[in-house]
């Protein structure tokens, strides 16, 4: 406990990657990385920002040293999935934005208020990314067609003691 966690995502491809960090904390609660974008002039609400890693570059998360990223909480295993896609996670971020406290700012891990709704939004975003590479995008509306050339997931596990 008290150690800072930092994730490094390197993009060796020729196109941008979009990253979504989600997982389960030590007590089994669904969590995600909250990346607020400040409200522009005249807007009262913040939106969540897609994490974009440019081609042939890398990005460390959190983007700044932040005490809220210190490992804390109940002892146990924490599982984080770094989901990378060739398209932004628009629906997933919209779902997170609806259910988060807009007063807080800065990159931080938050509990997902409605995990099933969030999971459906992530699948819809991955399907939208997959359609960019799809030879036949005419699929049934009740199925997900996910092209593995469009996304990848990395599993990261650590133990809180």
Confidence bin at 24 (pLDDT 50/70/90):
very high
Using CA atoms, how far apart are residues 119 and 39, in angstroms rounded to an integer? 26
What average pLDDT does range 101-122 have in this prediction? 82
Mean pLDDT (the chain) is 83
Confidence bin at 117 (pLDDT 50/70/90):
very high
Q: What is the pLDDT of residues 30-60, one digit of tens each?
A: 999 887 765 555 555 556 888 999 999 999 8
Task: Please provide residue 152's backbone torsions phi and psi, each rounded to the nearest 5 degrees.
Answer: -150, 150
In this structure, are residues 147 and 130 in contact, taking their beta carbons and an 8 Å threshold?
yes
Choice among 4-13, 97-106, 117-126 with the minimum mean pLDDT: 97-106
> Residue 29 pLDDT more than 70?
yes
pLDDT score for 90: 95
> Residue 139 pLDDT more than 70?
no
In this structure, are residues 146 and 130 in contact, taking their beta carbons and an 8 Å threshold?
yes
pLDDT score for 75: 87
């Amino acid at each position: 406990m008290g150690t800072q966690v930092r994730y490094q995502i390197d993009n060796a491809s020729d196109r941008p990657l979009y990253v979504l960090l989600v997982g389960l904390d030590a007590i089994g609660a669904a969590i995600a990385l909250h990346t607020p974008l400040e409200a522009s002039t005249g807007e009262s609400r913040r939106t969540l920002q897609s994490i974009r890693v440019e081609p042939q570059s890398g990005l460390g998360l959190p983007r700044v040293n932040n005490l809220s990223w210190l490992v804390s909480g109940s002892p146990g295993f924490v599982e984080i999935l770094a989901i990378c896609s060739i398209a932004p996670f628009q629906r997933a971020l919209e779902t997170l934005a609806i259910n988060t406290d807009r007063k807080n700012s800065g990159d931080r891990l938050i509990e997902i208020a409605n995990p099933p709704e969030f999971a459906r939004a992530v699948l819809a975003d991955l399907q939208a990314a997959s359609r960019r590479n799809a030879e036949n995008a005419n699929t049934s509306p009740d199925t997900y067609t996910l092209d593995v050339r469009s996304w990848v997931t990395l599993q990261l596990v650590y133990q809180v003691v």
